[in-house]
Amino acid sequence: MTDAPTRADATIRAADFKTAFRGHPAGIALITATSDSGPVGLTASSVASVALDPPALSFSVTRATGTAGALLAADTFVVHLLADRHAELARVFAHSGAPRFTPEQGWSQLPTGEPLLGDARAALRCRALHVVPVGSSSLVIAEVLDVHLGPTAPALVYHDGRYHRLDEASPEL
């Protein structure tokens, strides 16, 4: 007799875990960097503030994708906190195959080389302090080197597989 979880237990737990987080709202970020093969970027719903001194944030990526590998290999990267107008851009960078870094998307380049989305609510240039492997993901803890505040705008929030606008019209509790 043992208390070790069976495979069935683990499968149920993983399914319930997905259900739980599917309903947990999240702000949306687009993380970009340069690589040997050009600019790379991915959409992340896991960006959170960690500390103020030094300013630091965290996010996680699935290591399976080439984009995540290129981001983890970059010396610095830019975490863009997105506004409601960026829902389509968030979809493009959440899936492979869609056209990225097109002129219409409004990209420029920081003096330090990273791709910049100038109309993001905020763009935070970062350098990783720690990268912690967890299963097939990596959790990145990064120091914020520079902050570029963009135009004020309603925020973009992801919940239950959909993108929503969050602003003063949203029901307050």
Which position among 72, 94, 122, 128 is part of the footprint of a second copy (CB under 8 A)?
122
Which position among 35, 39, 56, 69 is part of the footprint of a second copy (CB under 8 A)?
56
Which position among 39, 84, 94, 105 is part of the footprint of a second copy (CB under 8 A)?
84
- DSSP-derived secondary structure for 48-78: EEEEETTEEEEEEEETTSHHHHHHHHSS-EE
Spatial separation of the C-alpha atoms in residues 153 and 4, rounded to whole Å: 50
75 binds a second copy (CB under 8 A): no
Which position among 35, 101, 128, 159 is part of the footprint of a second copy (CB under 8 A)?
159
Residue 68: both structure tokens together: 């995540």
124 binds a second copy (CB under 8 A): yes
| DSSP structural state of residue 167 | S
Residue 156: both structure tokens together: 């973009």
User: Which of 32, 122, 117 is CA-nearest to residue 78?
Assistant: 32
Q: To 10 degrees, the CA torsion angle through 125, 115, 26, 52?
A: 10
Spatial separation of the C-alpha atoms in residues 47 and 87, rounded to whole Å: 16
**Number of residues engaging a second copy in binding (CB under 8 A):** 64
With respect to a second copy, which residue has the nearer C-beta, 35 or 128? 128
Largest CA distance in the chain: 63
With respect to a second copy, which residue has the nearer C-beta, 14 or 38? 14
3 binds a second copy (CB under 8 A): no
Work out how close the CB of 42 gets to a second copy at its nearest, in angstroms, rounded to a whole number: 15
Spatial separation of the C-alpha atoms in residues 23 and 110, rounded to whole Å: 36
Work out how close the CB of 28 gets to a second copy at its nearest, in angstroms, rounded to a whole number: 8
73 binds a second copy (CB under 8 A): no
Q: Is 97 helix (H, G, I), strand (E, B) or coil?
A: coil
User: What residues line the site for a second copy (CB under 8 A)?
Assistant: 13-14, 16-21, 23-27, 29, 45-60, 81, 84, 87, 121-122, 124, 129-130, 132, 134-137, 139, 141, 144, 146-147, 149, 152, 155-157, 159, 162-166, 169-173
